[in-house]
Amino acid sequence: MSLKRLFVHFDGSARAERALDTALRLADGHDAHVIGCAVESIPTLPSAVGVQVPAAVYDAIRAEVRAAMDKARIIFEESCRKAGRADRCEWQEVEGDPAHALAEAARCTDLIVLGQSEPDRDPAHIEALPDDLVMMAGRPILAVPYIGAPKTTGKNILVAWRNGREAARAVMDALPLLQQAEQVTILCINASKWDDLPGADIARWLAEHGVACRIERVSTEVDPADTILNWVSDNGADLIVMGAYGHSRLRETVLGGTTRGILRHMTVPVLIAH
């Protein structure tokens, strides 16, 4: 397996530039193609209100959106040129609801790279993109924190492991990164009492694919998201790999959960899959 097509949601924002910077560095290490994609999304109004809005107003909004997309394309192409990858990058534009349009455009790629939303600055649909795309696109998501990514991504990887479908999918999708890592740790938090050797099976599978890793098993009453983030801080990990939404998104929204906790408070890039 290898990473050959990296898909970046790019709207010209600082958030998108951080995602693109990470994607370009990954592309260098995997000889991958980078696709930048912008969404032309025109705000819609309820029909009762929409009939009262002059066509000129919609035309002005569309022109503003078009200008922003043109500016984003210029920034994207210049960033790719400076990285020496102009011949391995391409620009795409899609229309419609951002999550649905991006999910459809990204399905035939290896990894979707997004920038984490900035608290109290980005609109709700941007904050929800990692959640929406991991459920809709059928592709893994690499979320890059708004505080910025480390100079390296994927040298020291933490796999947050629980023996479930989502985590297994994430490890499989992350295999090209895991195979190039210098250190991989399988972190098992509060494993089932029925599991005699938590993490042993996935460590064996990884070893058969050329990935040497160590296993850490933790029993704690601390929130799992905090435990993961504390481990990252203490051990210098530069990437987290984990399954997303082992419980329903509604349950995590109402009661809290590991996925939402990590996506809100990440300090290094996070690869998630469902």
3-state secondary structure the chain: CCCCEEEEECCCCHHHHHHHHHHHHHHHHHCCEEEEEEEECCCCCCHHHHCCCCHHHHHHHHHHHHHHHHHHHHHHHHHHHHCCCHHHEEEEEEECCHHHHHHHHHCCCCEEEEECCCCCCCCHHHHCHHHHHHHHCCCCEEEECCCCCCCCCCCEEEEEECCCHHHHHHHHHCHHHHHHCCEEEEEEECCCCCCCCCCHHHHHHHHHCCCCCEEEEECCCCCHHHHHHHHHHHHCCCEEEEECCCCCHHHHHHHCCHHHHHHHHCCCCEEEEC
Q: Which one is predicted more confidently, 7 or 247? A: 7
Q: C-alpha angle with apex 116: 175 to 137, nearest 5 degrees? A: 55
Fold category of 156-273 in CATH: Rossmann fold (3.40.50)
The dihedrals phi and psi of 181, each to the nearest 5 degrees, come to: -70, 155
Is there a shared CATH topology between the 5-144 domain and the 156-273 domain?
yes
- Please give the model's pTM, rounded to 2 decimal places: 0.91
**Phi, psi angles (nearest 5°) of residue 213:** -145, 165
Partner residues linked to 187 by β-bridges: 160, 216
Percent of the chain scoring above 90 in pLDDT: 74
- Mean pLDDT calculated for residue range 206-222: 95
Instruction: Give the pLDDT confidence score for residue 46 in this predicted structure.
Output: 57
Side-by-side strand order, sheet with 270-273: 89-95, 33-40, 5-9, 111-115, 141-144, 270-273, 239-243, 156-161, 183-189, 214-218
Q: For 20-39, what is the mean pLDDT?
A: 97
Neighbour-count burial for 219-241, b at 16+ CB within 10 Å, e otherwise: eeeeebbebbbebbeeeebbbbb
In this prediction, residue 167 carries a pLDDT of 95
Indicate the CATH number of 5-144 among 3.30.70.1530, 1.20.1250.20, 3.40.50.720, 3.40.50.620. 3.40.50.620
- How much is the average pLDDT of 124-149? 93
The mean pLDDT of 45-56, rounded to a whole number, is: 63
d(CA 171, CA 100): 25
- Please report which confidence band the pLDDT of residue 51 belongs to, taking 50, 70 and 90 as the band edges: low
Tokens 């620009």 -> residue: 91
Mean pLDDT of 230-252: 83
CA neighbor of 34 nearest in space, from 77, 66, 98, 68: 77
> What are the residue ranges spanned by the domains of the chain?
5-144, 156-273
pLDDT-derived band of residue 169, with 50, 70 and 90 as boundaries? very high
Q: Residue 163: which of 137, 210, 196 has the closest Cα?
A: 196
